Amino acid sequence: MRRNIEMREWSACLARLRESRGLILRDAEAFHEAATSLEYIGQIITGELRNGMGRYVNDLVELASSSATCTEDNSARLFEVVREARNMAVHEGAWARHLGSRLIDTFLILEESIITKMKRIEDLMVRDPVVAEDWQMVSHVRRVLLANSFSQVPIFTGNAWRLISDAALVRFIKSSNTPPTRKEKLEIAIGEAIGEQKIKTTEAVCCAPDEDIDMLISRGIEQPVLVIEEIAGKQRLVGIVTPFDLL
């Protein structure tokens, strides 16, 4: 039987699963490293250090079975595939990609099971989000979007939080072949380009960390929502929630 697990522990589990899912998507050969997350989850839900992932399978299956999309039998078979794969020394080619996809399936089931336990924004938000700064060059913001596969990135400008989209950068960088050149545009400070209306931004939807998830959804979530904490009269960005996080 699982111990009484605090919400901050569930949040840590969710963050670890998301990180590991991203790892395996970037590199199928990272299977072994990503799979260690299952031991990490097992340690949290049991409160025990056991020898190997296999010692946590029953507890992990129990957690996975609380997902609306997976039965106990299906989750047990899935964990057995992952456990056996981790014990094998070498995986190559299509077989490695197959095992990676099964591991991602396992992560998604566990993520769904954990998310159903969460009620407040701070429980599932992505913490310490990447932001753009006024002084950074357009080239840097472009790299941030590309490197992280983001479609938007937040920036605090004009005393308000706003969002810069990949589409807005494209329109600015490729708007014309006349001066300034592409290189010159990439060297412009992003704050300067925004201030001169050369790059259009959108006003960010903001919420508090303790806001109810259902309330946020009822308001509509068509774009990333910034989680803002008021400290000494100043707004501090502590997290971000996207529609993708709520799927």
pLDDT at position 243:
85
Triad 194, 237, 18: Cα angle to 5°? 105
Among candidate residues 195, 187, 125, the one with its CA nearest the CA of residue 164: 195
pLDDT value at residue 233:
76
pLDDT on residue 122:
92
Using CA atoms, how far apart are residues 234 and 97, in angstroms rounded to an integer?
Answer: 47
Task: Measure the CA–CA gap between 75 and 65, rounded to whole angstroms.
Answer: 7
The structural domains of the chain, with segments of one domain joined by +, span: 7-118, 124-246
What integer pLDDT is reported at residue 90 of this predicted model? Answer: 47
What does residue 216 show for φ and ψ, rounded to 5 degrees? -65, -45
Contact call for residues 2 and 45 (beta carbons, < 8 A): yes
User: What pLDDT is attached to residue 147?
Assistant: 87
Q: Which amino acid is at 175?
A: S
Per-residue pLDDT of the chain (247 residues; tens, 9 = 90+): 467 899 999 999 999 999 999 888 887 777 778 888 989 999 999 999 988 888 888 888 888 888 877 777 878 887 887 777 766 644 555 555 667 788 888 899 999 999 989 999 999 899 889 999 999 999 999 999 998 889 999 999 988 999 999 999 999 998 776 568 888 999 999 999 999 999 999 999 999 999 999 888 888 788 899 999 988 778 889 999 988 888 7
What's 124-246's CATH class?
alpha beta
Is the Cβ–Cβ distance between 226 and 237 less than 8 Å? yes
Closest CA to 173 of 211, 206, 141, 133: 141
- Buried-exposed string 32-49: b where 16+ CB fall within 10 A, e elsewhere: eebbebbbbbbebbbeee
The rounded distance, in Å, linking the Cα atoms of 170 and 129 is 22
Say what the pTM is: 0.78
| C-beta of residue 155 within 8 angstroms of C-beta of residue 132 | yes
